[in-house]
Amino acid sequence: MRETQQSNGLPFMKMHGAGNDFVVIDQRGAPALVTASLARAIGDRHTGVGFDQLVTLDDAADADILLTFWNSDGSIAGACGNATRCVARHLMTQTGKAALTIRTARGLLHAEDAGDGLTRVNMGAPQLDWAEVPLARPADLLHLPLPGDPVAVGMGNPHCIFFVPNAEAVDVANLGPALEHDPLFPERTNVEFASLITPDHLRMRVWERGAGITLACGSGTCATAVAAAQRGLTGRSVTIDVDGGTLHVDWRDDGVWLTGPTAHVFDGILTPSFLAAHK
């Protein structure tokens, strides 16, 4: 898919990584097409297409592709690991390359074919300073001054991670919104709830900033793995079960690598009338 808006509509792809679902719009060689209003309209699961994040593809001078991520509420997401993996898989299939460089707001990321149909991306080094996460004030990131003793980790976007006895029992729908908007997080936050299965295996559920409950969150999976290793619960290589499947995180010296499945579900076209109504 490499078409831009025409009189007959706007082509898009629907993809997902472990159930974390995306609308992908290739706008290379064309003016920017997506606005906050259009992103919200496409993200509506009743009157649009529906997605956790929308991804736009643009040309990059120093990379194979430039990606921008939009949440379903029309806000910009600074990082999106599963969407990065999905687009990387699409481009590797399209070009025959086994490795790519990808420019995002997070920086220059490296993606590669991990074999067995899996795709891996280096999400960069975790941000472990309160101002980088960011927090509203200095705090111990390993023991935030919030009920439940959470951990804060930045992965190009903020994360607040709770380690709980049983992630399945957490009322994510009620806890997530309040924590997302807690004053400690001036840019809001993603919220993860994780429980230990074995020293190299976690179960995680997530409330995403600007999107709500999702079946997976790539950056959140990375943040949870970093937090677990820092707390001494796991090593730096861990498997994490999310609602939509299983992901693997390897926190190496060169960054946090995220590996998992991807799927190209269908192609579609947004109609001219839909586009005109949501400029």
Domain for residue 75, yes or no? yes
pLDDT, tens digit, for every residue of 34-69? 999 999 999 999 999 999 999 999 999 999 999 999
Give residue 7's pLDDT. Answer: 63
Q: Has residue 1 got a pLDDT over 70? A: no
Domain containing 169: what range?
151-253
Q: Shortest CA distance to 218 belongs to which of 17, 13, 57, 15?
A: 17
Domain for residue 165, yes or no? yes
Give residue 31's pLDDT. Answer: 87
Q: What is the mean pLDDT of residues 62-88?
A: 96
3-class state of residue 203 by DSSP? strand
Q: Is there a single domain that holds both residue 270 and residue 218?
A: no
pLDDT-derived band at 279 (thresholds 50, 70, 90) equals confident
Domain for residue 136, yes or no? no
Mean pLDDT in the chain?
96
Q: What is the mean pLDDT of residues 25-30?
A: 93
Q: What is the mean pLDDT of residues 249-269?
A: 98
CATH number at residue 45: 3.10.310.10
DSSP state at residue 165: S
Q: Is there a single domain that holds both residue 54 and residue 100?
A: yes
The residues that are catalytic are 80, 217
Q: Has residue 30 got a pLDDT over 90? A: no
Give residue 33's pLDDT. Answer: 87
Q: Is there a single domain that holds both residue 270 and residue 201?
A: no
Q: What is the mean pLDDT of residues 111-140?
A: 98
Give residue 2's pLDDT. Answer: 47
Q: Is there a single domain that holds both residue 21 and residue 84?
A: yes
115 conformational bin, left if phi > 0, alpha if psi -120 to 50, beta if neither: left
Distance CA 11, CA 3 (A): 7
Q: Is there a single domain that holds both residue 77 and residue 159?
A: no
Domain for residue 2, yes or no? no
Distance CA 215, CA 261 (A): 13
Q: How many domains does the chain fold into?
A: 2
Percentage of residues in the chain having pLDDT higher than 90 = 94
Q: Is there a single domain that holds both residue 185 and residue 221?
A: yes
pLDDT-derived band at 107 (thresholds 50, 70, 90) equals very high
Q: Is there a single domain that holds both residue 244 and residue 156?
A: yes
Q: Is there a single domain that holds both residue 83 and residue 171?
A: no
